[in-house]
Amino acid sequence: MNNLREQFIAFSVSAGVLRFGEFVTKAGRNSPYFFNAGLFNDGATLGRLADFYAQTLLDSGVEFDMLFGPAYKGITLASATTVALAGKGRNVPFAFNRKEAKDHGEGGTMVGARLQGRVVIVDDVISAGTSVRESVDMIRAAGATPCAVLIALDRMERSGRDGRLSDHSAVQEVSRTYGMPVISIGNLDDLLNYLSGAGADAELAQYKNAVAAYRKRYGIA
C-alpha cells in the first residue's frame, strides 16, 4: 500500500492496537472496534508509530516550532515524534506536563523545553476534548501559541449520547473552538476502506458491515 493512511491502519491492526469485536466507548456506545495507542509498547512499534506522526505532520504543511505532549499518553507520543522528526531533518524541541506539581528540584508542572512559538499538541485520540482544552490553557499561559492538534485516529463520530447527539464530532468541535486544525494519521473512513479492500483478510472483512453500521448511526456527515 502506497497510501500513508492505509499503511497506518494496516500497521495498527497487525500490532494488535486496532481491534475488532464488541467494546463499550467512553460515551457508552457499543463499538465494533477499539483503538488503544497504549499498546504501541515496544521500541519497534513505537518507532514506526512516531514515523507516521512525523510524516503526517510534515505533509500537513502546518508551520510549527515545537511539540507538546499532554500527560500521560501524549508524553511518549510527543517525545518519540520529535525523534522521528529529527531523523527527517527537522529538529524541534518538545515539552510535556505533569499531572501533579513538583515541589522540589525544578518544580512546577512543566518538563522539557520552554513553551514558545507555535506549538503542536500531540495525543492519541480526541474523545471529550478535555486534554486539548487543558493543553491550550497551559500553552497560552506560557505566552506561546497552540497551532494544531496531531492525533493518531479520528473516530469521526458525533459527540454526545443517544438522544442528544451533536451535529459535530469532538474533533470538529475542538477545531471550531480553538481555531486550529486537528490532523489525524488515519480516520474511520480509512478503516472502512481497509476492511473493504484487499488488505483485509476474511477474518477482518466480517467486521466491515458492523463498522459501516456504526459509522451510519454515529458518524458525522
102 a catalytic residue: yes
* 77 CB-contact burial (10 Å; exposed 0-12 / middle 13-18 / buried 19+): buried
> Which CATH number covers residue 147?
3.40.50.2020
168 a catalytic residue: no
Of 53, 187, 179, nearest to 123 (Cα)? 53
Catalytic residue (choose from 26, 99, 104, 216): 104
pTM of the model: 0.92
C-alpha gyration radius of the chain? 18
Domain count, the chain: 1
Q: Mind listing the pLDDT tens digit of every residue in the chain (221 residues)?
A: 459 999 999 999 999 999 999 999 888 899 999 999 999 999 999 999 999 999 999 999 999 999 999 998 999 999 999 999 999 999 999 999 987 765 544 546 899 999 999 999 999 999 877 899 999 999 999 999 999 999 999 999 998 766 678 889 999 999 999 999 999 999 999 999 999 886 667 788 889 999 999 999 999 97
Q: What gap in Å lies between CA 92 and CA 8, rounded to an integer?
A: 24
Catalytic residue (choose from 99, 102, 208, 216): 102
Across 132-162, b (16+ Cβ under 10 Å) vs e yields beebbebbeeeebbbbbbbbbbbbbbbbeee
Residue 141: give the domain boundaries.
Answer: 4-218
pLDDT tens per residue, range 133-146? 999 999 999 999 99
The alpha carbon of 200 is separated from its chain's Cα centroid by a whole number of angstroms, namely 23
If you search the block for the grid coordinates 491492526, which residue do you land on? 13
